[in-house]
Chains A and B, each alone.
Chain A
Amino acid sequence: MNLFGLAPLLLILPLIGVFFNTVVGRRLVAADAPSGEKWSGWFATAMSGSAFIVAVLIFFSLPTVDYHAQTVVLWDWFNMPSTDFHVQWAMYFDTLSATMLLVVTGVGSLIHIYAIGYMHGDKDFARFFTYLNLFLFFMLILVTGNSYLMLFVGWEGVGLCSFLLIGFWYDKPNGVGILNGDAARKAFVANRVGDFAMIMAMSLTFWVFKTLEFEGVIETALHMFEEGGKAAPISFGMFTAEFQVVLSAITVLFLIGATGKSAQIPLFIWLPDAMAGPTPVSALIHAATMVTSGIYLITRSNVLFEIVRETGFQMAGIISVPDLVAVVGACTAVYAGLIAFTQFDVKKVLAYSTVSQLGFMIAAVGMGAYVAGMFHLITHAFFKALLFMGSGSIIHGMEHGHHHLHDHGHGGHGDDHHDDHHDDHHEDDFDPQDMRTMGGLWKKMPVTFGVYVIGSLALAGIFPFAGFWSKDEILAHAQVNEFAIFSFINIMLTIGAFCTAFYMTRQIKMVFFGEPRHEAAVHASESNRLMTRPLVFLAVLSVFGGFLNTPNFSEPEGYGSDYASEEKYEESGDHSETEAILAAGGSKTTFTLALEHWLEHSIQSFELTEEGVVHMPHTPIVLQYNVAVTSSIIAIGAILIAWFLVFRGYPMKPEDDDPLQAAPVIGTVWAFFQGLPLDSLYMNGWVKRVFLPLGEISNLIDWDFWHNFVHERLIRDTFVTSADFFSKVLDPLGVDGAVNGVGKSLRNFANGLRSTQTGNVGNYALGLFLGVAAVIAYFVFAA
């Protein structure tokens, strides 16, 4: 069954959706909202769903071609025949991209369905689905591109969609729309900083490897490493450097790119603001798919990162690139985790939580645990999409309650009050996202409550939910490694895990338990089935998703469990026995490590020996009981502490402080993290303090100095004065010759020009004329 010919459909289908909603859907919704919304929403969903079916077919086609990567060429993109610069539009399918495909289209389709319910009544309903399909289109380009350049198309494209969707409600009244626009702009610019690094990385990659295709780059990299070792000279133009230095530069630039897209320190500042977008967007783009691009990029480039690890090259003699990746991830995991429990906005908690979880994944890929990173990416897509959509359901319920409150005087609530519920709920400063106004919602919204708890348990890493397995695999990697840096990462990630359990418990307690703290919470009601059904589905995935890659519970015979055994593998010389066991193990234990075996066709493991690069079998980590037990104890401990510590007094009003703020140590930490002006760092910091003044200064230099002073005052006026002098003083004195001749001819010229003007502009013209000639003469002779 080889169905790769269907691949172009993955891109065509979402595009059809985009065109449908731009041209037809918009008009249908405008003509008749209820039926138009059905057409618009379900058409977009059908496109997304069909893409999912194609993805499944491709997934099942891969085994039939022996898991060999398949390339489907669409057409030439860049082609300069006289150079090596040749890039195609081509789709690349291996087990890694197939995995991403399933996540993107699968979770994406569920979110489409949910959004039909969530966006109901919005006047820009069709525009929303246009963007969702456009996003899907670019995300699919990102994960199926066969070259870095094509990946970059998707990379920027999803950034654009993110911009459009964050700024979706760009014209909300009371300045909210402007803030939304600011948030959108900030996200785009922060991502552009990462893109700067991507462009530099790709430029270097091209000159080093003479190609931008993944396969070519990886092959050439291994070859160069094998031939010349880490110090192989690289040269192009007048540039020369060692292989390890250039490769470190490339990989560190990829890391910077990833920190932009995947919201890591220092570029994560855009993600919390991105919550200004509609909640389905937060679930799809800012939790499940787009923000994981950085992890995908690094996993895709795993060979480059592993070569850098092998060379042992340390930047500035301090740290190697893969270690830096791990450290950045681990620090982000803790930092964002700490910020998360100072937040009161139900979505902001989840936003920082996402940053923190992305930190876990980045740390994993930095440690070389690519499969673990991907595993966490998948499970996180399940439970974080679930939590975001759950929070959307809560917000919806609260808005409903608030409307009920408002319309109480004149006859209940219904769909007719729904029409512009997104636009006018700011009339009395009621914030439906503030957790301090909630409380006791479990009775009002039982389904949402149920799935939310499941999602939280999965996120917190409680056995046997999905998050437990994936997070544990990452922690286990940090545990079993001998490198010193890994213990640091291990400690950081463990703290991160504690934070996770803590802030989720705090959130659940504030939202669902206790007494309602606002009238809106009293009247909140469960969301409709279009919204809750995808939630239930994701809840199921959050429970069972961990079985995608359950570890071996004990070490199979002859099976490596840690890095030390790789040496044994090498020493033994005869690999056939081990490989036989591996093969047998692979087929025998189909239940365990499914993802590991699936991805090992895409993620190479190798080592440089005297005979050159030797490809290694994957050595997955068996279940580390100590890690599992420790992390479970920590998570449960965090839940218990949070449960008994947080909000025993249940603040009644939005202005009330969290009791934790008064606690001795925690209070200080709290104040520190809440005091960080992270959200306004860009608009109020960078833009106001740096960029606006810079613009003012440049304007001063260019306009007031260069344009007005140099050109007008110095050059023009000098000439006009001297021309006056010549004509009024020297001319009457009878000075002839050169001066007179030149003056006359210029005068005639000026008179010619004067036909369209009045006054002394002619003098000005003359002045400028000679002045510029003088400037130019200066530049020529000075040069």
Chain B
Amino acid sequence: MIESSSILTVLTFLPIFGVAVILLLKPFNSENDLNIKVVANLTAVATFILSLVVLAMYDSSFAGLQMKHELNWIPALGVKYFFAVDGLSILMVMLTTFIMPLAIASSWNAIETQVKQYYIFLLLLEAGMMGVFLAQDLFFFYIFWEFTLVPMYFLIGIWGGKERVYASIKFFLYTMAGSLLMLVAILYMGLNAGTFSVPELIANYDLYSSAQSWLFWGFAVAFAIKVPLFPFHSWLPDAHTQAPTAGSIVLAGVLLKMGTYGFTRFNLPLFPEASAEAAPLMATLAIIGIIYGAILSFAQTDVKKLVAYSSISHLGFVMLGIFSLNEIGIQGAILQGVNHGLSTGALFFIVGIVYEQRHTRELSEFGGLWRAMPMYAVLSLVVTLSSMGLPGLNGFVGEFSILLGSIGGQTLGASPWIYTAFATTGVILAAIYLLKMYQGMFMGPLDNPKNQSLRDLNGGELAIMLSFLLFIVWIGIAPSGFFTMIDASVADLVTHMQPAIDAVVAANGG
């Protein structure tokens, strides 16, 4: 399949092509930067369409990597230019290409300064994230991984809120510092094994297995910061509250998933024994995150911060699913990553709509918006319910699979249900903080005069909301197609890990 061999390369660099076009547009710059916006939007949509082609070519019954594009890059070090996709990444790729056009479109009226740079950074970010999800060579992956920081740094630092500089530097340094150990781990493995290619490393497990416990943590810390897993979350509220709306959508929608993806792509298959040993600790941190994030979320009066903290809670579920180390939990976790991207992305968009009009996000400033903006209120309700895990919407599908997986958790000790029980309290807490938000914004009398003249959704906003809702409902009522896409690869992963899991279980006297 010659065509397929380079399609992932095209997919990754298509946004860069868009950047080039925008740069060339300079002489024709119109007053309101219309052409830049059009090019950026078209690029994102074209990328999405191309990703649909990838999806059509994707063979969900095949467990391993497909559509490989593998070239020698730095032969002396064994570094490869290596793109491929499988069940662990296909949904992440689709999520990226789906969220980006929405994020870009949502900026149409919101961004008025330095428009050109703004869209360039967004498109660069898309290319970077695509590379993260498609690269199958550790060195190659690391480059993309670090690369994503740069556009996000500028997006927050230039177009963010009042404390944007502080937030952007914190975001940059925090996540980059976390990655340094991963770089050391990558170099150690690659130089030892003479290859950085993930499949080859897995095949040469013996060459680095003795060092796997610290290698595991080298990767884990980098990913845990990105997720963010408690207690590495301190950068998140700053970044989210300061980022522009599109930045928050991408941050919550895709960027955080790079962390959870990293665990499934690298930690589990590369270090199966260390993963099995770390599972109780990781699951415990995940559960602390679920409960802690939820309580913090409840305590916020700034709506955006409330949503930001809810991410910590939701991502806790994803981490719990991954470290239940069975098919149901991991599949649930991957899908829940997508769900969180949709629901929380949509929530940030919702906050953005009202912020644009009122320039405040304080809950006490709102109330009774239902009366003023009925369409907005109803669609927001559906998104809120999806985030809350109402069955029939997407959140429940992921959450329930994760909880189901965790109770059958393979290395979570003799009473895995304790983990499940604590995690399930997150379901109650989600209702408490999200309903607080919903009631605060939409219910009660419409007595603040500033709110009485708010306009309801315009056509563009409605289209973006409906795009989110399409998948929120689709995954909610018919997720089996999505599960089918990831099933074979996840089953393969668990089979690969099973001997290590059994060994750890036996060692712990299970």
Interface residues, chain A, with chain B CB atoms under 8 Å away: 22, 75-83, 85, 89, 149, 152-153, 156-157, 160, 163, 167, 170-173, 177-178, 180-182, 184-185, 188-189, 192-193, 195-196, 199-200, 202-204, 206-207, 236-240, 691-692, 694-696, 698-699, 702-703, 706-707, 710-711, 753, 756-757, 761, 764-765, 768-770, 772-773, 776-777, 779-780, 783
Contacts and interface: CB of A to CB of B under 8 A. Distances in A.
B387 to A, nearest CB: 13
Identify the interface centre among A157, A238, A240: most chain B CB within 10 Å of its CB.
Answer: A238
Given A81-B484, A156-B390, A237-B412, A768 B445 contact: no
B198 interface: no
Contacts of A769: 173, 176-177
Interface in B355-395: 368, 370-371, 378, 385, 390-392
Given A81-B488, A702-B296, 9 more contacts: A80-B487, A178-B443, A195-B427, A196-B427, A694-B295, A756-B157, A765-B172, A773-B177, A776-B178
B174 interface: yes
Interface in B213-250: 214, 217-218, 221, 231, 234, 237-238
A238 B416 contact: yes
A631 B397 CA distance: 49
Contacts of B292: 698, 702
B237 A82 contact: no
B190 interface: no
Contact of A239 (B392, B415, B445, B491): B415
B170 A203 contact: no
16 contacts: A78-B401, A80-B331, A89-B477, A153-B392, A160-B390, A177-B444, A177-B445, A181-B443, A199-B427, A200-B421, A237-B408, A692-B299, A698-B292, A756-B154, A761-B166, A783-B217
Given A77-B478, A757-B165, A181 B218 contact: no
B483 interface: yes
Interface in B399-448: 400-401, 403-404, 407-417, 420-421, 424-425, 427-428, 431-432, 435-436, 439, 442-446
Going nearest first, the 7 A-B pairs with the smallest beta carbon separation are A695-B299, A79-B480, A82-B491, A170-B443, A772-B177, A181-B443, A153-B391
Given A85-B328, A236-B408, A239-B416, A699 B421 contact: no
A156 B391 contact: yes
A76 B480 contact: yes
A695 B413 contact: no
B96 to A, nearest CB: 24
Interface residues of B, number: 88
B327 interface: yes
Contact of A772 (B173, B477, B478): B173
B424 A196 contact: yes
B158 interface: yes
A172 B420 CA distance: 41
A152 B389 CA distance: 12
Contact of A181 (B231, B439, B483): B439
Given A82-B491, A171-B445, A237-B412, A188 B431 contact: yes
B231 A768 contact: no
B169 interface: yes
Interface of B: 154, 157-158, 165-166, 168-170, 172-174, 176-178, 180-181, 214, 217-218, 221, 231, 234, 237-238, 281, 292, 295-296, 298-300, 326-328, 331, 368, 370-371, 378, 385, 390-392, 396-397, 400-401, 403-404, 407-417, 420-421, 424-425, 427-428, 431-432, 435-436, 439, 442-446, 477-480, 483-484, 487-488, 490-491, 505, 510
B299 A696 contact: yes
Contact of A691 (B176, B326, B327, B432): B432
Contact of A765 (B169, B221, B326, B385): B169
A780 B327 contact: no
A699 B296 contact: yes
Contacts of A192: 427-428, 431
A203 B415 CA distance: 13
Contacts of B478: 75-77
A695 B431 CA distance: 15
A447 to B, nearest CB: 36
